[in-house]
């Protein structure tokens, strides 16, 4: 089948501003990933097309893009899902560096602000074995362990577009993963961080993040649980 790909292009060393290029691929399959099509364009039409990718099956989080207006991983969406006329643009809210590549540094900086690492300063179990955790306690934060830091959620969030200093859903997901882990001891500290003005208060429950998440994390729900925890002081 024939697929028409309209791609956002911007080369900072050549272009004054962005433009769109259209490429027609004649022998596409309905099971082709959008990433396969981008690779094809890069391989046979225009090698200068720049985008990030690695695992190609939705696990590494490299290739978040706006595909027909919605944030997705290019490797996890097929032609049969989006049709034969496909517009591909960089994710919004982060500076475009080149073509589909955006500056991810602010995104990772926000992530680091919520202390996204396990904190437990109590003595280790005397038997030298694992800390115990029941399956129920483990299930409490399972959903938010799935995050691959692709930025689909944060860059779909209107509050993030409006405000550079908003931590964004992905950072809040990371906070949730630790705050609701029964083994972790720094919940109070993290709740304080995300209670500041750049945190939870900026979530206006648009649900864009939940819809955008390629890992199907219930992000808005996780944020609601965090909000409740800041009010009740309980996790």
Asked if 42 interacts with other proteins (CB under 8 A), we say: yes
> Measured from the CB of residue 62, what is the shortest distance to other proteins in angstroms?
5
In what helix (H) or strand (E) does residue 19 lie, and over which residues does it extend?
Answer: strand 19-25
Which of 18, 22, 43, 204 contacts other proteins by CB under 8 A? 43
Give the total of residues touching other proteins (CB under 8 A).
Answer: 62
1 sits near other proteins (criterion: CB under 8 A): no
- Choosing from 7, 23, 53, 222, the residue that interacts with other proteins (CB under 8 A) is 53
Tokens of 39: 């690779």
The answer to whether 74 touches 97, Cβ cutoff 8 Å, is: no
98 part of the interface to other proteins, by CB under 8 A:
yes
- Nearest partner of 88 among 45, 50, 56, judged by Cα: 50
For the chain, the maximum distance between any two Cα atoms, rounded to a whole number of angstroms, is 65
Residue nearer to other proteins on the CB measure, 23 or 178:
178
Which of the ranges 5-13, 87-95, 203-211, 225-233 carries the binding residues for other proteins, by CB under 8 A? 5-13
Out of 19, 57, 95, 192, the only residue in the binding site for other proteins (CB under 8 A) is 57
Is the sign of the CA dihedral 116, 222, 103, 164 positive or negative?
Answer: negative
Residue 115 half-sphere exposure, CB side, CA atoms within 13 Å?
16
Identity of the residue, 81 or 165, whose beta carbon is nearer to other proteins in the bound complex? 81
> Per rule CB under 8 A, is residue 60 in the interface with other proteins?
yes
**Cα–Cα separations (whole angstroms), residue 226 to 21, 194, 235:** 43, 9, 8
Of the chain, the end-to-end C-alpha distance in Å amounts to 52
Q: Is the Cβ–Cβ distance between 141 and 180 less than 8 Å?
A: yes
Within residues 203-222, the interface with other proteins by CB under 8 A covers: 216
User: Contact with other proteins (CB under 8 A): which of 149, 171, 173, 194?
Assistant: 149
Tokens of 169: 């859903």
H or E, element range at 55: none
Exactly one of 18, 20, 118, 207 binds other proteins (CB under 8 A); that residue is 118
Site for other proteins contains 27 (CB under 8 A): no
Q: Does 108 bind other proteins (CB under 8 A)?
A: yes
State the DSSP H helix or E strand holding residue 194, giving kind and residue range, or none if neither: helix 187-195
Q: How far is the CB of 112 from other proteins (least distance, A)?
A: 6
Cα distance between residue 13 and residue 42, in whole Å: 19
Q: Which residues bind other proteins (CB under 8 A)?
A: 11-14, 31, 33, 39, 42-44, 46-48, 50-62, 76, 78, 80, 97-98, 101, 104, 108, 112, 116-120, 124, 128-135, 137-138, 141-142, 145-146, 148-149, 178, 181, 183-184, 216
């Amino acid at each position: 089948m024939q697929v028409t790909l309209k791609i956002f292009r911007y080369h900072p060393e050549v272009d004054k501003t962005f433009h769109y290029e259209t490429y027609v691929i004649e022998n596409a399959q309905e099971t082709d990933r959008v990433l396969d099509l981008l690779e094809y364009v890069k391989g046979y039409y225009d090698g200068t097309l720049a985008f990030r990718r690695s695992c190609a099956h939705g696990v590494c989080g490299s290739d978040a893009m706006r595909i027909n207006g919605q944030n997705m991983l290019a490797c996890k969406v097929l032609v049969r899902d989006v049709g034969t006329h496909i517009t591909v643009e960089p994710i919004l809210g982060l500076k475009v560096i080149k073509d589909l590549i955006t500056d991810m540094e602010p995104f990772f900086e926000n992530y680091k602000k919520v202390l996204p690492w396990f904190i437990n300063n109590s003595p280790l179990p005397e038997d030298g074995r694992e800390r115990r955790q029941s399956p129920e306690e483990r299930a409490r934060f399972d959903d938010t362990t799935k995050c691959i830091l692709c930025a689909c959620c944060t860059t779909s969030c209107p509050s993030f577009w409006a405000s550079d200093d908003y931590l964004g859903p992905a950072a809040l997901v990371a906070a949730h993963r630790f705050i609701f882990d029964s083994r972790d001891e720094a919940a109070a500290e993290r709740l304080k961080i995300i209670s500041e003005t750049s945190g939870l208060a900026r979530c206006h429950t648009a649900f864009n993040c939940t819809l955008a998440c390629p890992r199907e994390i219930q992000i808005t729900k996780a944020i609601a649980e965090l909000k409740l925890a800041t009010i009740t002081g309980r996790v």
